[in-house]
Amino acid sequence: MTGRERIARVLRRQPVDRVPITEAHFWPETVAAWRDQGLPADADPWAFFELENATVGYEQSLRRPYELIEEADEWVIARDTDGVLRKQWRSHTGIPQPLEFPVRDPGDWPAVKAEMAFTPDRIPANLDAQVAAHHALGRFVFLAASEPCFQVWRLMGGEAFFFAFHDHPDLVCDIMDTIVESWQAAWAEVQRRGIPIDGIWISGDLAYKNGPWMSPRQFEQLVQPRHVRIADFFNERDLPVMWHCCGDVRQLVPFVARSGLSGLQPLEARAGNDVREFKPLYGDRLTFMGNIQVEKLSADRETTREEVLSKLTVAMEGGGYMFSSDHSVPPHVTFDNYSYAIELVKEHGRYD
């Protein structure tokens, strides 16, 4: 069974030979450190560990010109293609600090909405070649773009985002509906070109370490209907939909399970998520990906073994689980420990 076949079946909670081995991201500093720890100099971690998932995307920005504003030895301030002014570190990987956003009040939205209109040239000309290359390696390919509510945050920033949910719900809904319609138009173009996408990946963080960014009631009233629209559209086309959402998602999982989405990732353990708790409650409706805590992958082998096996044993029961870290792999995870975790999954994640 190829990785492509394996993940396709796991997302539909059908029997497979073993748990798929996947990942979200390796920090550049991680790869650099691993080359000194045993990763061959010319090896890509994705190929070296035979990871089975891949994502491809399309252009979703406002396509504004990049504008350099200020630079120093340690950082640079620039306005990106979304019109967001950001301060970015030069010396290391880190989340840029946003300073200004394109939608500061409802009056900014009509012009920005026009800039977001989907056109066929937003699909990369080489998307078919990207997908074919991944398929040749047996990988399952997700088409990825922004989750609708997260796009509100991307356009407005945190403070305005929170006030908008209370003061301007119609604006929030219009932005989200615009993203849903963009998804549908993008898929129509991908289908017209005959590109064999395997699944859909909606990427957007709606929670932090202490819980969701909005109340469960706001999520149910405003966000969930858009998730249902996405799920219904792609389920009708037999395409599973995975949602990437960082932070403590425990209050959101019941809504996700009712929405028709296929799965949830990355289940950050440091934020309180535990696949051993989710699986008995929602495992008949959701596939889970991740939850292997990178802090424990950074410890000794016994700690790594306990983390992997204690979660793998529960999560793989009855299918519907994909192994992955609980977000991305930082440099304090050693090459030896990560290799050991992969070995454990291959040994203990088998169904036959």
Q: pLDDT tens for residues 279-327?
A: 999 999 999 999 999 999 999 999 999 999 999 999 999 999 999 999 9
Split at pLDDT 50, 70, 90, the class of 238 is: very high
Boundaries of every domain in the chain: 3-61+115-348, 63-101
Mean pLDDT of 195-214: 95
Q: Match 């930082």 to its residue by tokens.
A: 330
Split at pLDDT 50, 70, 90, the class of 115 is: very high
Distance CA 253, CA 274 (A): 12
Buried b / exposed e along 196-233 (16+ C-beta atoms within 10 A): ebbbbbbbbbbbeeebbbbeeebbeebbbbbbebbbeb
Mean pLDDT of 93-111: 90
Rounded to two decimals, what is the model's pTM? 0.94
First-residue to last-residue Cα distance in the chain: 12
Q: Tell me, what's the pLDDT at 179?
A: 94
Q: Read off φ and ψ for residue 55, nearest 5 degrees.
A: -125, 145
**Amino acid identity at 287:** T
Q: Tell me, what's the pLDDT at 90?
A: 84
**Using a CB cutoff of 8 Å and minimum separation of 24, what contacts does 221-226 make?**
222/149, 222/165, 222/169, 222/172, 222/173, 222/176, 223/148, 223/149, 223/176, 224/255, 224/258, 224/259, 226/148, 226/149, 226/176, 226/177, 226/179, 226/180
Split at pLDDT 50, 70, 90, the class of 38 is: very high
Distance CA 182, CA 136 (A): 29
Q: Tell me, what's the pLDDT at 248?
A: 98
The one-character DSSP state at 65 is P
Kindly report the number of other CB atoms within 10 A of residue 36's CB atom: 9
Q: What is the mean pLDDT of the chain?
A: 95
Whether the CB-CB separation of 58 and 145 falls below 8 Å is answered with: yes
Q: Which fold has domain 3-61+115-348?
A: TIM Barrel (3.20.20)
Q: Tell me, what's the pLDDT at 191?
A: 96
Q: What is the total residue count of the chain?
A: 352
More confident of the two residues 42 and 94: 42
